[in-house]
């Protein structure tokens, strides 16, 4: 039985197979419409979500399966003090596969150790968000035609942003990847990523504070939200929250074929005036999230569709 805790749980070859399956699902949805009949997905979300939870549920429904679960810790027996280990042992009696989001780093891993069904990490604190990474990789491969030879700007909260941490881990496995890390001093990428991931693997990167200084060179601009829920101090959040606002003027500095990605939700970091720019890919990215989660469910449940 296979779980998914990190994008690195999949080899590059396994990832390639998964993304190819996701593209086939996109092009032939009817072929997969009954693939998971009789199977159930549990979504155990101890932290708020729109895209991840609903795209998992849409994915299972698109595959002909059923869904059950909870959308907040308050509406589960976690509010009475139940551990994730006990919860997953019980959920294993009710469902065939579980997607779990938790504010504590490592909670889905703890659950997977006691689980009788595959567990998918749907985001654990500031740590990892592997299915967002799968979504991002499918978006990049589909829209840019490759996962190598790319100049990628990561902008915003690079300190707490789990989507950014997961994406860096995944992309450094491909040749000729260069990062521009765009953040205020207080929200720079953690030193373990700078030293143990980027420098250790000889991945070229530079750190800048001004978005304008990075735009012209990029193939992909990956914007992120400054996450209020990760700050201990309201004043720090207020000072940081509007540090970056991508608008038409800044987009005029970018290449014609650059794409703008964002895991969403956005707050102010991308002006709505950018939404109509053909380079804005963030809503298409959310759609790719459904296809890749369908592919992941099929893979972890070992369902073959001929
Ligand atoms: N991208 C993402 O994880 O969105 P949600 O928090 O809405 O699931």
The CB of 50 under 6 Å from ligand 1? The reply is yes
The whole-angstrom separation of Cα 190 and Cα 142 is 30
For the question of residue 51 being annotated catalytic, the response is yes
For the question of residue 206 being annotated catalytic, the response is no
Ligand 1 centroid distance, CA of 202 (Å): 31
pLDDT tens for residues 83-116? 999 999 999 999 999 999 999 999 999 999 999 9
Q: Is pLDDT at 230 greater than 70 in this prediction?
A: no
pLDDT of 260: 98
Residue whose token pair is 């053909």: 278
For the question of residue 180 being annotated catalytic, the response is no
Q: What is the mean pLDDT of residues 67-74?
A: 96
pLDDT category at 231 given cuts 50, 70, 90 is: low
Q: What is the mean pLDDT of residues 165-190?
A: 95
Ligand 1 centroid distance, CA of 135 (Å): 11
pLDDT of 238: 76
Q: Is pLDDT at 140 greater than 70 in this prediction?
A: yes
For the question of residue 284 being annotated catalytic, the response is no
- Side-chain half-sphere exposure of 51, counting CA atoms within 13 A: 22
**Helix-strand-coil split of the chain, %, nearest 5:** 45, 15, 40
pLDDT category at 236 given cuts 50, 70, 90 is: confident
Indicate the range of 31-35, 134-138, 223-227, 284-288 predicted with least confidence: 223-227
- Side-chain half-sphere exposure of 246, counting CA atoms within 13 A: 32
Angle among Cα 162, 164, 166 to the nearest 5 degrees reads 70
pLDDT category at 303 given cuts 50, 70, 90 is: very high
Looking at the chain, the number of H-run helices and the number of E-run strands are 10, 9
Q: Is pLDDT at 118 greater than 90 in this prediction?
A: yes
Ligand 1 centroid distance, CA of 50 (Å): 6
Whether 29 contacts 145, CB under 8 Å: no
pLDDT tens for residues 20-70? 999 999 999 999 999 999 999 999 999 999 999 999 999 999 999 999 999
pLDDT of 229: 66
Residue 178 three-state SS? strand
* Residues in a beta bridge with 246: 270
Alpha helix stretches (DSSP H) within the chain: 12-27, 51-62, 84-94, 107-114, 130-144, 162-171, 191, 234-240, 248-251, 282-300
Residue closest by Cα to atom 5 of ligand 1: 49
The CB of 52 under 6 Å from ligand 1? The reply is yes
Mean pLDDT, rounded, of the chain: 95
| pLDDT over 90, % of the chain | 90
The CB of 49 under 6 Å from ligand 1? The reply is yes
pLDDT category at 127 given cuts 50, 70, 90 is: confident
DSSP letter, residue 242: T
Packing angle, helices 12-27 and 130-144, rounded to 10: 70
Q: Considering only residues 232 and 44, tell me which one the structure prediction assigns the higher pLDDT.
A: 44
Torsion of CA 257, 50, 122, 145, to 10 degrees: -20
Residue closest by Cα to atom 6 of ligand 1: 49
Q: Which of 270, 302, 264 is nearest to 284 (CA)?
A: 264
Whether 154 contacts 127, CB under 8 Å: no
Please state whether the peptide bond connecting residue 127 to the residue before it is cis, i.e. omega within 30 degrees of 0.
no
What pTM, to 2 d.p., does this model score?
0.95
| Ramachandran bin of 225, using left for φ above 0, alpha for ψ from -120 to 50, beta for the remaining angles | beta
What does the longest C-alpha to C-alpha distance in the chain come to? 56
Catalytic residue among 3, 39, 40, 51: 51
Instruction: Report the relative pairing of strands 150-155 and 177-182 from DSSP bridges.
Output: parallel
The CB of 132 under 6 Å from ligand 1? The reply is yes
The CB of 265 under 6 Å from ligand 1? The reply is yes
For the question of residue 129 being annotated catalytic, the response is yes
The CB of 227 under 6 Å from ligand 1? The reply is no
pLDDT tens for residues 245-297? 999 999 999 999 999 999 999 999 999 999 999 999 999 999 999 999 999 99
The whole-angstrom separation of Cα 29 and Cα 63 is 9
């Amino acid at each position: 039985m296979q779980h998914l805790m990190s994008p690195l749980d999949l080899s590059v070859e396994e990832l390639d197979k998964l993304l190819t399956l996701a593209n086939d699902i996109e092009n032939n949805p009817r072929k997969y419409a009954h693939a998971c009949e009789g199977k159930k997905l549990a979504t155990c979300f101890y932290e708020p979500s729109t895209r991840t939870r609903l795209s998992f549920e849409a994915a299972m429904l698109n595959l002909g399966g059923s869904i059950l679960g909870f959308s907040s810790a308050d509406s589960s027996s976690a509010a009475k003090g139940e551990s994730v280990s006990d919860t997953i042992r019980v959920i294993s009696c009710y469902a065939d596969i579980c997607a779990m989001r938790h504010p504590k780093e490592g909670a889905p891993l703890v659950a997977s150790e006691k689980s009788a069904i595959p567990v998918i990490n749907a985001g654990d604190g500031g740590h990892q968000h592997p299915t967002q990474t799968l979504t991002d990789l499918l978006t990049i491969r589909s829209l840019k035609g490759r996962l190598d030879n790319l100049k990628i700007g990561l902008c915003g909260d690079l300190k707490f942003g789990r989507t950014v941490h997961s994406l860096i881990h995944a992309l450094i496995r491909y040749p000729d990847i260069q990062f521009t890390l765009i953040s205020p001093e207080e929200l720079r990428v953690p030193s373990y990523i700078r030293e143990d991931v980027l420098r250790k693997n000889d991945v070229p990167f530079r750190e800048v504070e001004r978005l304008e200084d990075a735009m012209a060179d990029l193939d992909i601009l990956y914007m992120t939200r400054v996450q209020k829920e990760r700050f201990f101090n309201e004043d720090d959040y207020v000072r940081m929250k509007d540090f970056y606002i991508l608008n038409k003027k800044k987009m005029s500095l970018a290449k014609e074929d650059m794409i703008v990605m964002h895991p969403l939700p956005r707050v102010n970091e991308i002006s709505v005036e950018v939404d109509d720019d053909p380079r804005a890919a963030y809503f298409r990215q959310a759609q790719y999230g459904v296809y890749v989660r369908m592919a992941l469910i099929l893979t972890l449940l070992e369902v073959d569709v001929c």
